[in-house]
Amino acid sequence: MREEMFLTDAQADGLATFQNQRVHHGQFQNAIARITNFHRSGTRAYAPGIMTFVGETGAGKSSVVENFCSMANSGDSHSCVLSIIIPQSCTIKNLASRILYALGDPCASMGTRESMERRIAMLADHASVSMLIFDEFQHLTNKGSQARRYDTADWLKTQLEILHRPVLFVGLPEVNDIFMVNPQLETRRRGRIELHPFDPSTKDGAKELLMLFHFLNQALPLPDPSSSVLKSNEVMLRLARSCKGLIGYITKVIYRSVEIALLSNSPTLTEQHLTVALSELKEASDELDTRAARPLQSKRKQTIGRVISRQKKGLQDEPF
C-alpha cells in the first residue's frame, strides 16, 4: 500500500481550481441553450409547462444546471431561478418544505399542506422567481405505491397551474416514468433534453473528447503540461472507453491521477499516474458492487489479483 503524503496549500489550490473547471463541450452548450430558451419563452407564456433533462449518473446534468443558474442569477435581472435538490424518498410535504426553504421561509416545514402551498405562491411572487428546477427528480417517484406516485404527479400539475412558471425536471432516465403515471403532465411537457455519454468510437465523439482533454490540459496544475498524457489521443480515448464515455468517471480518474502526480512532485501527468488512479477507483467500485454478495475474504483475493494484472497491463478497456 502506498504511503499517502500531504498536499501543500499551493498544490491544494491548484487541484481545486482544476476540479472546479467546467468545459463547455458541444452537448453542454446545447443543453444550456435549450434551457435558456425554455426559460426565456416560459417567462412570457401563460402556461409555460415542463421540460425534462435526463442522463445517466455522471453524464454532467447538475454541472449544466449550476452553470445555467449562475448565468441566469447574475447580472441586473431582478428575477431568479430557483434550483432545488430533491432528497431520497421525498413526500409532497417534504417537497413543499424544500421549496419554502429555498424561498427563505423561516418556518419552511410548518403548517398544513394548503398553507404551505399559499406561502409558496406568495413567496415565489415576492422573490420574483422566474423558473423552478428540480434536480434528482427521480427521488420523487422511484419509491412508494402507485397511488402515492399519482398524488405526487397530480400535486405537481396543480402547482404548475398556480405558479405559471417554467419548471425543469432533472435526473436519471426514470424521470420519464412520472409522465406515464399521470398523462396530464405529459400534455404539459414542452420538450426533452438528453445528455448522452461521449462515444469514443465515432469521429465526432472522439473529437469532442479530445477537445475536453485539451481544455483540461490547459488548466493542468503541473509545471510541464506540454508533455502530459492528456495530449496522447490513444491513451485518453482508451480511458474514455474504460469510463463508458461518462464525463463524471473520466474526470474522477483524471483528478485522482493529478493528485498522485502532485504528491510525487512530478513535472507532468503520465500514463502511469492514470493507470494507478484507475486501478484504485475500480477497486473501490468493485468492493461497493459486490461486498454484500460475496464473502469478504475470497473477494479481497480476487480484487488484489485483478489490480496487479491491471497495473501490469496499463489502461484496460473494461468499464467500472
Which residues contribute to the site for ligand ATP (CB under 6 A)?
21-23, 25, 28, 55, 57-63, 172, 247-248, 251
Residue 60 binding: pick among ligand ATP, Mg ion, none (C-beta 5-8 Å cut-off by kind): ligand ATP
| Residues forming beta bridges with residue 218, ordered by sequence position | none
CB–CB of 154/123 below 8 Å?
Answer: no
C-alpha cell at 218: 490547459
CA distance 260 to 247: 20
Q: How far is the CB of 53 from ligand ATP (least distance, A)?
A: 9
Q: Binding partner of residue 238 among Mg ion, ligand ATP, none, CB under 5 to 8 Å per kind?
A: none
57: partner contacted, choices ligand ATP, Mg ion, none (Cβ within 5-8 A by kind): ligand ATP
Nearer to Mg ion, 139 or 238 (CB): 139
By the rule CB under 5 A, 91 interacts with Mg ion: no
Please name the residue that has the C-alpha cell 404548475.
160
Please identify, among the stretches 38-46, 62-70, 142-150, 228-236, the one whose residues bind Mg ion according to the rule CB under 5 A: 62-70
Per DSSP, what are the bridge partners of residue 167? 50, 132
Q: Please name which of 236, 219, 225 lies closest in space to residue 268, comparing C-alpha atoms.
A: 225
Can you spell out the DSSP letters for 109-123?
T-S-HHHHHHHHHHH
Told to check if 62 binds Mg ion by CB under 5 A, we report yes
CB contact burial 292-303 (16+ within 10 A = b; e otherwise)? eeeeeeeeeeeb
Of the pair 136, 259, the CB lying nearest Mg ion is at 136
Question: From the list Mg ion, ligand ATP, none, which binds 144 (C-beta under 5 to 8 Å, kind-based)?
Answer: none
HSE, side-chain direction, 13 A CA sphere, residue 104: 8
Least distance in angstroms from the C-beta of 139 to Mg ion = 11
For Mg ion, which stretch binds (CB under 5 A), given 61-69, 115-123, 154-162, 186-194? 61-69
Instruction: Give the total of residues touching Mg ion (CB under 5 A).
Output: 1
Provide the residue count of the chain.
320
Identify which of 203, 182, 245 has the alpha carbon closest to the alpha carbon of residue 55. Answer: 245
- Is residue 63 within the footprint of Mg ion (CB under 5 A)? no
Toward ligand ATP, which CB reaches closer, 21 or 311? Answer: 21
Shortest distance, position 49 Cβ to ligand ATP, whole Å:
23
Instruction: Give least dist CB 76 to ligand ATP, A.
Output: 27
Residue number with CB closer to ligand ATP (23 or 100): 23
Strand order in the sheet with 129-135: 80-85, 129-135, 167-171, 50-55, 189-195
Which CB sits closer to ligand ATP, 62 or 285?
A: 62
Q: Which residue number, 251 or 316, has a Cβ lying nearer to ligand ATP?
A: 251
Rounded to the nearest whole angstrom, what is the least distance from the CB of residue 5 to ligand ATP in the complex? 23
Distances (CA, A) of 118 to 111, 121, 184: 10, 5, 23
Q: Which is nearer to ligand ATP, 64 or 181 (CB)?
A: 64
Burial class for 259, CB neighbours closer than 10 Å (0-12, 13-18, 19+):
buried
User: Which residue number is nearest to Mg ion in terms of Cβ?
Assistant: 62
Binding residues for Mg ion, rule: CB under 5 A, are 62
